[in-house]
Amino acid sequence: MELSVTVRNYSAVSKIISYQILTIIIMTAGFALMAGRSYALSAALGGAAAFIPNLYFALRVYKSAGQEARKIVRSFYAGESGKLLLTAALFFMIFQLPNIEILPLLAVYIVALSVFWFALLMR
């Protein structure tokens, strides 16, 4: 019984991660077609700034599955702290690059994060 719950949760997480990747690819391609390479690069970097920390968090929480409740909660807090630090570090590195366009960067970042909200609504 416990294994099926873990597999089902992993499946939901993998679906969300997949939707996030798909959203990032579609929006990056849209910016590339409409506005060119600079916008596409900025869009891809915005997507990466959302995706990489979320993937880190998901892997961190997945590793804690099946442990006692206290360790799972600790893993959630550590994962969320790491996610926030990783996001800040990624944005710091992104803003060091020349010719970054803010609109596509933030648009794809926000849409990639909103995938979680839409996944909650669809459940």
- Residue 121, pLDDT > 80, answer no
What pLDDT, on the 0 to 100 scale, is given for residue 8? 53
CB-based burial, 72-95: b 16+ in 10 Å, e otherwise: eeebeeebeeebeebbeebeeebe
State the pLDDT confidence band at 5, using cuts at 50, 70 and 90.
Answer: very low
Q: Which segments of the chain are extended strands (E)?
A: none
Please give the pLDDT value at position 97: 96
- CA gyration radius for the chain? 16
**How far is the C-alpha of 59 from the C-alpha of 80, rounded, in Å?**
11
Handedness of CA 38, 42, 45, 51 (dihedral sign): negative
Looking at residue 43, its amino acid is A
Sign of the dihedral through C-alpha 54, 59, 60, 62: positive
For the cut 50, the answer to whether the pLDDT of residue 80 exceeds it is yes
- What six digits make up the tokens of 36? 């060119």
Residue 4 — very low, low, confident or very high, per pLDDT cuts 50/70/90? very low
Q: Is the pLDDT of residue 7 over 80?
A: no
Q: Give residue-wise pLDDT tens across range 22-66.
A: 999 999 999 999 999 999 999 999 999 999 999 999 888 888 888
